[in-house]
Amino acid sequence: MTTLASSVWVAAVIYIYVEQNLQLGEEWWGYINTSYFVGMIFSGLIVIRFAKLLEKYIGFFITFGLFLSSLLILFFGTTNIPVLALLLACLYGLPEQIREVIYTKLFQDHATEKTLAKIHAVWGAVINLTFAGSVLLLGFITETYSVKTTFQFSSTLIFLAFLYATFKRNDLQGKQCDQSLSSKSSNLPR
């Protein structure tokens, strides 16, 4: 769901956003992209600095990150203030980067050496397939309704993921989850 929703940052949607919401020239598409990636880079540094804290509170950071992503996409999609749009695009990098690091860690913690490469390959294929379909869907929503509707749709999808993660939060507790999985996995067929 988050891949489907996060595809709202694709150039085709951002270009229409710049034209319709901000009513600025196409160079602002580049400014927004740059701001988004600057946010991802700074977020990566923050994640490195607080890696132990992230490991300790995986469930919290996933749920909080989803909630924050939902709000940031909603506010970004509805603003017509250029500087605020840049700031929101930059801030979006933090929860996005945290989620990516946590997902990778969970894969590594819960997979055997033999299955880790397969899991990453399947994950990549699913993400790319979802991304391709979502670009079509979000393009259709943008063309048929409006770019604001596209951002509202994406925000709603991430909010639904937040609700689901909140419901499943106990399953995302890192080491505790690791121990319970290893005791259960001995009963699973391989």
Q: What are the pLDDT digits (tens) for 53-80?
A: 888 888 888 899 999 999 999 999 999 9
DSSP string, 127-156: HHHHHHHHHHHHHHHHHHT-HHHHHHHHHH
Q: What are the pLDDT digits (tens) for 168-184?
A: 877 766 544 444 444 44
The per-residue pLDDT for 85 is 97
The per-residue pLDDT for 182 is 44
The per-residue pLDDT for 173 is 61
The per-residue pLDDT for 97 is 86
Distances (CA, A) of 108 to 113, 118, 180, 189: 9, 12, 16, 20
pTM of the predicted structure, to 2 decimals = 0.83
Low-confidence residues in the chain, pLDDT < 70: 172-190
